[in-house]
Amino acid sequence: MINRILFATDLGIYNPYLMSQLSVLAHSTGARVDLVHAIEPMGVFAESILSIYMTPDDQKHLRNSGMPQVMEHIRQQVLDSLKVEIDEMPNKFTISDVIVEIGPPSDIIIKHARQCRSDLIVIGSHSGQGDGEAMIGSVAGKVLRKASVPVYFLPTACLREGL
């Protein structure tokens, strides 16, 4: 029985398609939906830019105080934009929680699937980035390999190719 679904999204170009598929699944099962949006950690380049333009104290303040505020702002924007999308769907459903976290996306998804006690993870095959040659994106592949619950894998290659 599917009581709780974790929907992993990068909010990319395929999100409306993924949301429409999720709405049918959530509506038919009556499951609660938690959404997770992972943000890649800053790379070496971004860190070096910060070190050039910010004092060490400002950098520390940003990490300790500023980033939680930024993350909450992103979380609220995600929730607000998804509510608009959901309201336009024929199969409405409720998002129980929106989780926005910085870290490697596959690790964040797996961690929250466990924490939320998800019965199912819903994820798209690709983010819409890259060259499209791979059958499966790197994040989706890692989630499939690491998940301890079933993964509802939505192919997006057909959308890329206009099929």
Domain contains 33: yes
Residue 115: give its domain's CATH number.
3.40.50.620
Neighbours of 6 (CB within 10 A): 29
Domain contains 141: yes
Domain contains 120: yes
pLDDT digit string, tens, across residues 51-96 = 888 888 888 877 777 778 888 888 888 888 788 888 888 888 888 8
Kindly report the pTM of this predicted structure: 0.82
Q: What is the DSSP secondary structure assignment for residue 4, as one 8-state letter?
A: E
Structure tokens at 146: 């690491």
By residue range, what is the domain housing residue 131?
A: 4-41+72-160
pLDDT digit string, tens, across residues 123-143 = 988 765 555 566 788 899 999
In degrees and rounded to multiples of 5, residue 38 shows phi and psi of: -95, 140
d(CA 37, CA 61): 24
